[in-house]
Amino acid sequence: MTEELKNERAPDLFTVKRGTDANSALQRNTGEDDFPGDFAKLKLTVIRPVFEAVGNGLTESGHQINIAEEPGGKISIHILPPGVSKSIHPYDWFPTLSFFGAPFTKTIGLHGRNARRNSDGGSGERGVYKLPQVSKELVEKELKKFVGEIANW
Amino acid sequence: MIKDETHAPPGERLRSLLCVDDNPGSLKLVELFMLHRPDIRLLTAVNGKSGLEIAWVSRPEVIVTDINLPDMSGFKVLESLRADPATTRIPVIALSANSLPLNVESGLESGFFRYLTKPIQFKEFLATLDLALAHAEKNSTKDQLRKRAGQQ
């Protein structure tokens, strides 16, 4: 069997069931069917903790934060800048940064949404990454950059 | 509809692109784009059903589908292609006037290779097509390796 095929083999059941060592799961070469599982682990161990940590800091400076995750899907952080009233609007109406999985290409997309016109920080794609590229440092850097862009929202 | 007026340059393999769109203007535009790509045979369909039939018979290397088709959505076309082992690995590019980031996100999450928004841009379309062809080529190589490994 070629080296390439060996790398592509799906993890054995023990590895899948155990599933506790997220780092080792992310470091191994992703197989054919484990992308959703690896993305779920990435959300749990990397993206959400950074969203929460940065979000806590933002809350202290007067922002309102909401972290939303669709089961098996994207994770988003909605940010209401200080002084902005949510009123009856859904969180989607406010600046949002989302990481989502693209299963066909096995990549992670980063999109920003910023509903208000004439404010810095446009909407759209902000990056496409392979699973191992999405580190805490990257998430923190991108989130802080986004927060900086919506400062005058 | 199958237009077969293309000729691959010597030494290059002729590859197929299936474009599913009910808008004659969009199909015409893709047809014009393909004049720059003699290595590609363009197949077209004006609804999801005939698109799927052509895909299953012709097995194109890449498929481009509109999202708002008259008989079914582009998402349904994608779902049907993914459900069949013969077409499950074909890169499918969405082409739509629905251009909100939310639309793009949900398209990619559903399994489209790329999500292009209308109006179709020449450079973007050809660059995406090349990426999809490279992806198809890679998949084909992997399949061959798998077959060989299975035979051993």
Question: Does B95 fall in a domain?
Answer: yes
C-alpha–C-alpha distance, residues A148 and A72, integer Å:
29
Of the candidates A82, A39, A27, the residue with the CA atom closest to the CA atom of residue A60:
A82
From chain A, pick out residues whose CB is under 8 angstroms from the CB of B145.
2, 4-5
Question: Does B144 fall in a domain?
Answer: yes
Is the minimum CB–CB distance between B125 and chain A shorter than 8 Å?
Answer: no
Low pLDDT (below 50) residues in chain A: 1-31
| pTM of structure | 0.77
Q: Could you read off the pLDDT of B100-150 as tens digits, one per residue? A: 888 899 999 999 999 999 999 999 999 999 999 999 998 877 777 777 777
The token pair at A52 is: 């929460």
Q: Any idea what the CATH number is for the domain that residue B37 is in?
A: 3.40.50.2300
Question: Does B10 fall in a domain?
Answer: no
Max Cα distance, chain A (Å): 62
Question: Does B9 fall in a domain?
Answer: no
Q: Could you read off the pLDDT of B35-90 as tens digits, one per residue? A: 999 999 999 999 999 999 999 999 999 999 999 999 999 999 999 999 999 999 99
> To which H or E segment does residue B117 belong?
strand B114-117
C-alpha–C-alpha distance, residues A150 and A97, integer Å:
11
**Residue pairs spanning A and B at CB distance below 8 A:** 47
Q: What is the chain B residue with the closest CA to A122? A: B101
Q: Cβ A98–B113 below 8 Å, yes or no?
A: no
Question: Does B58 fall in a domain?
Answer: yes
Least CB–CB distance from A113: residue in B92, B101, B146: B101
pLDDT at residue A125, as a whole number: 86
C-alpha–C-alpha distance, residues A50 and B46, integer Å:
46
Phi, psi at A79, each rounded to 5°:
-125, 120
Q: Cis peptide leading into B24, omega within 30 of 0?
A: no
Whether complex ipTM tops 0.95: no
Is the minimum CB–CB distance between A101 and chain B shorter than 8 Å?
Answer: yes
Which residue range is the domain that position B27 belongs to?
15-151
Task: Count structural domains, chain B.
Answer: 1
Domain-wise residue ranges, chain A: 43-149
Query: How far is residue B97 from each of residues B43, B101, B127, measured CA to CA in Å?
Result: 21, 12, 19
Question: Does B92 fall in a domain?
Answer: yes
DSSP B121: P
pLDDT at residue A18, as a whole number: 34
Question: Does B74 fall in a domain?
Answer: yes
